[in-house]
Amino acid sequence: MWCAGIGCLFLWDEIFLNAPAFDRVRAALFNTLVSGAGAVFLSLVLGWASGAAFFLLEQRRARYSFALLSLVANAIRSLPQVVLVLVGYVLLNQLILAEIIRSETAQLAWVTVTVSVAVFLEVSDTIRSRLEYFRSLEFIDAMLCCGISESRIIHREILWRNSREHLLHKLIALFGVAIFLQCSVDFIVSVGLSTNVSLSNVPLTLGSLLASVDSKQDILALSNLFSDPAYITEIVVRHLQGVSAAFCIVFTLVCFFMIANGYARSRRLNGP
Amino acid sequence: MTRPPDFLVGLSDSLKGRLVSHAAGVVFVAVALAGFALSFEANAPAESAQERHLESYLELNGVDFGDPLDRALFRESLDRFYPGQAARNDSLLQAIDDARVRRWSGPGLRRGDTNRGFSPALLPEIAWQFAQFLLVYILALLGIYFGAERLGLYRFVKWKQGRESYLGESIRIVREYRHARANSRVRFPKGAVALDILKALGKGILTTLFFSPAYVIAYALKTSVDTSSLPFMILLALVSNGVLIQASNRFFELLVAEDRKGYVRTATVKNLHTSYEWNAKEGVPVRVLYRISQNLGPHVLRHLYENARFQFIPAMKELGSFLVTGLVIIEMALNIQGRLSYNLLQQILFGRYDVACVIIFSIFLAVKGTEVFVDTWHDFERRRYGF
């Protein structure tokens, strides 16, 4: 459904949107999706490692290490995700000015890492809850008695074999969160923080495309619909760059929310 | 002697442990942010002694160095206090003129940067902005909590009725018509099908609206509505960024999970009402959608609701954090002046990270306060249910 929707949008843009603007929309969507996918993958790696680490430290009663890790995790959890991502953008700003990071790919990679640091704890919490649930089951003790190593039980038996669906559901939902965070902070940064950094060097994403003057004018034009509903015909033909960027963001968020929901319902993932 | 409220008497050990953990988190973040702010101050270029000396002249009361008369009087005063040092006095006046030029034409001032960094004088302004932020946050969080329960309940009843999808409902009507047409002459139910299609369209538009980022909605309404007013901000925080939809979905999933449990079958056998028709004799009254206290009588939904509500309470921590994220995005993206998040954006823009740390810490306290409240509330409910 998402592919069909984006395909229809591109078909419409091909007909009514000028070529340079259409190229920008395509590039922005591509960069946003790649960054979102990268953030999800990194979150899985970080969340898996931290979740397993929490569990093992608790099992082995390493109180001080567990307490320290919990302290750091709770601090990250209590800081709003947008603030964490904003701090990452500030650091990116400094690295660009110091010419340590130059290429667009490196900048996009930095953004990806920043977003994944802000969201990986959700994966970690899912993994911890799955490990806690399985800890009480008898087959875990049976495997330990058979001499199977704890790490194999955790990584292969519990997480890979019995929790793949839960993790996949969480990752699908997290993709939407990553897209939302990245677009929002890109929008804020493009509007407020771009004084010292040339916009032409920062990779174009849906958020920064939406923050451009042309796109903001297109979104402002939507308010004409209140006084003149027939203006919708102009909106979908003349104000297409901003409307396309906004549509891509909203449609992606709605679709991935529905995909995550549908997947959870079909696999009956609600509850323990 | 008045008795303290029940929820404060005898805090459970698990709650005590969590409160200690929260306190440790506050101390940890405070120390980390303070350390960063102090290191920023230590690395910032220090004002030279000469600059401070010149500042003392510039801050003299009643002396306007732009006024030729004041300048002449000042020059004569210097000659009186430092006789025979004309060259020194001329150099001092020239240095004062240079300092005035730097003060009024520096790059910071061109960006609107009039402050010099963190000082206690900034605290009342930040405190007032934080109070406004908290007001919007608390009202929006309450709205999301009650809205999520109501929407989740509504969706669950529709699901039990088998009418969750309006498009599915219109397809069902068409199929029934085809089946009925085979046996007798019946009219095509145009009105019912058209109504369901319209409802489906409306639901799609509302879903799109609820998932739209706040800045898209606000910019779309910017020329029609005052987007910086408090009521609009609360409404925007409620309906945008997908917070309400996700919260209601979470509550709905909890009701569905409860519905699958064994006690529901036991309750059915014991003659509790299980009809989900609106306002039917043994069905669900519509008033459950707008009354705060749910009196559902001898209906199995009452137990599903109570159990789901208990499990929904801890989810408010995550929703609160996401709501704060949404509010910060709203204030920053719309450049609402005089608000906490816009102030944070400005401090980051001006490179005054010490002030930014103070603001970040205040936002952190709002989230942490929510977590403490939710944990205490959940513990109270847990003890009320006898766990």
pLDDT in tens, chain B (387 residues): 455 555 555 667 788 888 888 998 999 999 988 888 887 666 555 555 667 677 788 778 888 888 888 888 888 888 888 888 888 888 888 888 888 887 766 655 555 555 556 677 778 888 999 999 999 999 999 999 999 999 999 999 988 888 778 888 888 888 888 888 777 777 777 888 888 888 888 888 888 888 888 888 887 777 676 767 788 888 888 888 888 988 998 999 899 989 988 888 888 888 888 888 888 787 888 887 777 566 677 888 888 898 999 999 998 998 898 899 889 888 888 777 788 888 888 888 777 888 888 999 999 999 999 999 999 999 888 888 776
Confidence class of residue A44 from pLDDT cuts 50, 70 and 90?
A: very high
Residues 6+ apart with CB under 8 A from A9: A244, A247, A248, A251
Chain A positions touching chain B (beta carbons under 8 Å): 70-72, 74-75, 77-83, 86, 90, 176, 180-181, 183-185, 187-188, 191-193, 195, 210, 216, 219-220, 222-223, 226, 246, 249-250, 253-254, 257, 261, 264, 270-271
Average pLDDT, chain A: 84
Residues 6+ apart with CB under 8 A from B63: B57, B70, B74
Confidence class of residue A42 from pLDDT cuts 50, 70 and 90?
A: very high
pLDDT of the residue at B2: 53
Q: Tell me whether residue B240 is in a domain.
A: yes
Query: Quick one: B220 and B352 in the same domain?
Result: yes
Query: Quick one: B134 and B101 in the same domain?
Result: no
CB contact under 8 A, B325 and A226: no
Q: Tell me whether residue B94 is in a domain.
A: yes
Number of C-beta neighbours around residue B351 at 10 A: 18
Residue B334 φ/ψ, nearest 5 degrees: -90, 0
Looking at the structure of chain A, the number of domains it has is 1
Query: Quick one: B255 and B157 in the same domain?
Result: yes
Q: Angle between the B68-81 and B86-105 helix axes, to the nearest 10 degrees? A: 140
B272 and chain A: CB distance < 8 Å anywhere? no
The CA–CA distances, whole Å, from B93 to B59, B66, B90 equal 14, 12, 5
Which of A85, A107, A111 has the alpha carbon at shortest distance from A96? A107
* pLDDT-above-70 percentage for chain A: 94
Query: Quick one: B105 and B236 in the same domain?
Result: no
CB contact under 8 A, B256 and A79: no
Instruction: Specify the pTM.
Output: 0.81
Which of B329, B313, B296 has the alpha carbon at shortest distance from B371? B313
Asked if residues B59 and B65 have their Cβ atoms less than 8 Å apart, the reply is no
Q: Tell me whether residue B226 is in a domain.
A: yes
Q: Tell me whether residue B2 is in a domain.
A: no
Query: Quick one: B306 and B343 in the same domain?
Result: yes
Looking at the structure of chain B, the number of domains it has is 2
Query: Quick one: B125 and B271 in the same domain?
Result: yes
In terms of residue numbers, what domain contains A172? 2-267
Number of C-beta neighbours around residue B379 at 10 A: 20
- CA dist B67 and B65 (Å) reads 5
Mutate to test the interface with A, among B215, B358, B361 (most CBs of A within 10 A): B215
Residue A220 with chain B: CB contacts under 8 Å: 219-220, 222-223
Give the pLDDT mean for A236-241: 79
pLDDT of the residue at A272: 43
Q: Which chain A residue's Cα is nearest to B366?
A: A78
In terms of residue numbers, what domain contains B54? 49-110
Q: Tell me whether residue B350 is in a domain.
A: yes
Report pLDDT digits (tens) over A144-195: 888 888 888 888 888 888 888 889 989 999 999 999 999 888 888 877 655 5
Number of C-beta neighbours around residue A152 at 10 A: 12
Restricting to B residues 170-209, those with a Cβ less than 8 Å away from any Cβ of A are 207-208
Asked if residues B241 and B215 have their Cβ atoms less than 8 Å apart, the reply is no
pLDDT of the residue at A198: 47
**pLDDT exceeds cutoff 50 at A199:** no
Query: Quick one: B105 and B143 in the same domain?
Result: no
pLDDT of the residue at B368: 93
**pLDDT exceeds cutoff 50 at A200:** no
Q: Tell me whether residue A272 is in a domain.
A: no
Asked if residues A207 and A182 have their Cβ atoms less than 8 Å apart, the reply is yes
Residues 6+ apart with CB under 8 A from B31: none
Q: In CATH, what number is assigned to the domain containing residue A198?
A: 1.10.3720.10
B220 and chain A: CB distance < 8 Å anywhere? yes
Q: Tell me whether residue B296 is in a domain.
A: yes
Put residue B297 in one of left, alpha, beta given phi > 0 → left and psi -120 to 50 → alpha.
left
A77: closest CA of chain B, how far (Å):
8
Residue B32 with chain A: CB contacts under 8 Å: 75
ipTM for the whole complex: 0.84
Which of A20-29, A239-248, B293-302 is least confident? B293-302
